[in-house]
Amino acid sequence: MSASINANLRHDWTLSEVKALFTQPFNDLLFQAQTVHRAHFDANRVQVSTLLSIKTGACPEDCKYCPQSGHYNTGLEKEKLMQVQQVLEEAARAKSIGSTRFCMGAAWKHPSAKDMPYVLEMVKGVKAMGLETCMTLGRLDMDQTQALADAGLDYYNHNLDTSPDFYTSIITTRTYSERLQTLAYVRDSGMKICSGGILGMGESLDDRANLLIQLANLPEHPESVPINMLVKVAGTPLENAEDIDPFDFIRMLAVARILMPQSHVRLSAGREAMNDQMQALAFFAGANSIFYGDKLLTTANPQSDKDMQLFSRLGIQPEAREEHSDEVHQAAIEQALVEQKSSALFYDATV
């Protein structure tokens, strides 16, 4: 099966087509994905984001993978919404070591009326620093979505997590249609969409294919597609889930790249468990975005200096925002890494 790299973006993928991509020989799949990737991106640039938990724990949702769910005893201390100034200080640190996007996540089913003003100030403050802004706050209504857009939010993250058929095996407190409705509100407001899913929760090949079909067949492809590998946390129902085959994970990235050729495909949660060789394969398969820093909300992530060392070995450079030259941007990253190499960089929601 082949794909023309010059064809118009498709929004009509079928299950049989996508499964054929997944099941072709591994080298053929990677070659196809890399060919598509090079037609739309610099193959040696990776977009760098930082993720901060602005409100941790006690979430009313029952997502079986999540240590922040109030339904499970994972030992996670619940915390109130961070003060705006604390968030802006963390954003400044993220920018100083090369992140171009600052993502803020709150463990909510949906944002409350009393918290929205503070959230909007966070967006405005981070935006004023010259960073792209992203938030994940749960389900949004139309008015909340428009308020975030008016404040200058660039991206809204709302993952579909898995296929429609497997979804109720993982989450019962929010419907799939509610997730799709939030994505529709985000798109209608003019913001960009960040939406992907998680592998390793016991899903089938059909489920993985159908998750990507849901994303690729949206009226517009998400600009950012995070592909997460389950981080198993004691106390959650999935703490003993079977490990996913690394090659199957790489296949997911490659198929995502082929289906959504102009989207940034993010190598997201689970990188702490990936060796350098697996990450290199992920970049070859078309992943061109990562989270940078020592934590993803509440789970571990490779330290930023380790990421830069891997980038150097692979000849990869961080993707710079348009207003900065690559040389200046890279020099600033390298200098900041020297100065902050031993510091705990991004995550301290308890201060």
Distances (CA, A) of 224 to 107, 134, 156, 284: 21, 11, 10, 17
**Of residues 101, 179, 266, 271, which has the active-site annotation?**
266
Exactly one of 194, 208, 251, 257 is catalytic; name it: 194
- Alpha-carbon gap, residue 230 to 210, rounded angstroms: 18
The torsion angles phi and psi of 172, rounded to 5 degrees, stand at: -120, -10
**Is 194 among the residues known to form the active site?**
yes
Comparing C-alpha atoms, which of 265, 268, 263, 183 is closest to residue 223? 263
How far apart CA 64 and CA 233 sit, in angstroms, is 10
- For strand 299-300 and strand 132-136, is the pairing parallel, antiparallel, or unpaired? unpaired
Question: What is the chain's length?
Answer: 351
66 is catalytic: yes
Query: Helices marked H in the chain — which ranges?
Result: 15-23, 26-40, 84-96, 116-128, 142-151, 164-167, 176-189, 205-216, 246-259, 276-284, 304-314, 326-340
Q: Which of 93, 134, 174, 271 is catalytic?
A: 134
CA distance 54 to 134: 12
Active site residue 134: yes
Which position among 59, 139, 174, 179 bears the catalytic label? 59
Q: How far apart are CA 26 and CA 276, in angstroms?
A: 19
Active site includes 103? yes
Parallel/antiparallel/unpaired status of strands 197-199 and 224-229: parallel
| Active-site residue flag, 266 | yes
Residue listed under structure tokens 């308020």: 147
Amino acid, single-letter form, for residue 288 = N
CA pair distance 340, 344, nearest whole angstrom: 8
Is 59 among the catalytic positions?
A: yes
The catalytically annotated residue of 101, 103, 174, 251 is 103
The residues assigned a catalytic role are 59, 63, 66, 103, 134, 194, 266
